[in-house]
Amino acid sequence: MNMRLTGLLCALNLLAACVRETPAATDTIDVFTHQRAQVDVLLVVDDSRSMVDDRADLADSYPELVELFGNSGVDWHLGVISTDATAATSGGRLTQAGPYRWLDESTPHPSDVFAELLQSDETASASERARSVIHDAITVHDAAFNAGFLRADAQLAVLVVSDEDDQTASPTVGDFVPWFEQLRQVADDATLHAMVGLPDQSCGSVAGIKHIDVAERTGGLIFDLCERDFVGAAAQITDTWSSSPFYFLSEQPQAELEVLVTEPYAEQRALDAEAWAYNAQLNAVRITPSYRPPVGTVFEVRYAPAAP
């Protein structure tokens, strides 16, 4: 019986005795101390007059949002940009509250800062251009005004919140999606989610057809703006975040891997197959969203190395 199957059956209590197989003398054993995954969350918020109540509800949701971020076990950044691509102070620039251009775990008085980041003078352009401002936030302002917000190894989660469809002329959806997906080592690490008007809703929002199209193409989630359930949306989004960075193996494996886990004050055990994933292209293992390891957890990856 192979080692990975043995570990899975042990986890399911399908074997009478679960003794882990002793690794062969020629096996490679890579050991990793758990590191928290980094996730950069970019809110792209329509700041036109029709969105006043939505922005207020989003600001009021901050304590619950932070609790969800904390429970996810990741190291997070949270920034806000406007869908207004015309104003000199927006156009992909992070909104600013005093000295703060984004929030993280250390931000003082975070609810007040978040509310200020979401404030609008209600003179924003009625031409909402989400794709344009996302593109400019990363290609134009990342090395200048937005410097430090996006981290090279972080997963990128974008949430567009708007009661209008995207009016961006360039980049087109067809150009935007491949550009967006190549921003990270693997395409799944860059996702765009949309909280917009749905085609069958009746609350007055314009259906966000183009936003929905981009979300579907990037593997993002779609939420009904009419419900204004920002906490429920955040709960679903945080459930998609991988729990760790990639752990790069020291050698190329010949066949299957066995991943063992030792949590603080616990015995070593085989990690459930659903809790980790191997990326052959990167030759790396990563912990999936189904398992949130506590601080101090150690992973051991065992495998027979491929012949040189």
DSSP 126-142: S-B-HHHHHHHHHHTST
pTM, full prediction:
0.89
Nearest-CA neighbor of 79 among 48, 109, 51, 39?
39
Averaged pLDDT for residues 44-49: 91
pLDDT surpassing 90 at residue 86: no
Higher pLDDT, 204 or 245: 245
pLDDT score recorded for residue 123: 59
CATH 3.40.470.10 fits 38-238, yes or no: no
* pLDDT, position 299: 98
Three-class secondary structure of residue 209 per DSSP: helix
Q: How confident is the model at residue 16 (pLDDT cuts 50, 70, 90)?
A: very low
pLDDT digits (tens, 9 = 90+) for 138-178: 999 999 999 999 999 999 999 999 999 999 999 999 999 99
Residue 87 confidence (pLDDT) above 80: no
Residue 12 confidence (pLDDT) = 41
Element containing residue 285 per DSSP (H, E): strand 284-287
88 has a pLDDT exceeding 90: no
Q: Count of CB atoms within 10 A of residue 25's CB?
A: 5
242 φ, ψ (degrees, to nearest 5): -65, 150
* Alpha-carbon gap, residue 111 to 109, rounded angstroms: 6
Structure-model confidence comparison of residues 17 and 61, the more confident one: 61
- Asked if 191 and 229 touch (Cβ cutoff 8 Å), the reply is no
SS3 262: strand
Dihedral, CA of residue 196, residue 219, residue 177 and residue 100, to nearest 10: 60
Cβ neighbours around 85 below 10 Å, total: 23
How many beta carbons lie within 10 A of that of residue 57, not counting itself?
Answer: 13
pLDDT at 121 (0 to 100): 62
> Residues 10-29: what's their mean pLDDT?
53
Rounded Cα distance between 277 and 94, Å, is 34
- Residue ranges covered by each domain of the chain: 3-35+245-303, 38-238
**What sign results for the dihedral spanned by CA atoms 167, 173, 179, 181?**
positive
CB 262 within 8 A of CB 34: no
pLDDT at 8: 43
Angle between helix axes 62-71 and 230-238 (nearest 10 degrees) is 10
Flag whether pLDDT at 280 surpasses 60: yes
pLDDT digits (tens, 9 = 90+) for 230-247: 999 999 999 999 999 999
pLDDT at 187 over 60: yes
pLDDT digits (tens, 9 = 90+) for 243-269: 999 999 999 999 899 999 999 999 999
For residue 13, pLDDT over 60 is answered with: no
How far apart, in whole angstroms, are the C-alpha atoms of residue 225 and residue 177? 23
Dihedral sign for Cα 263, 265, 270, 274, please.
negative
Q: How confident is the model at residue 15 (pLDDT cuts 50, 70, 90)?
A: very low
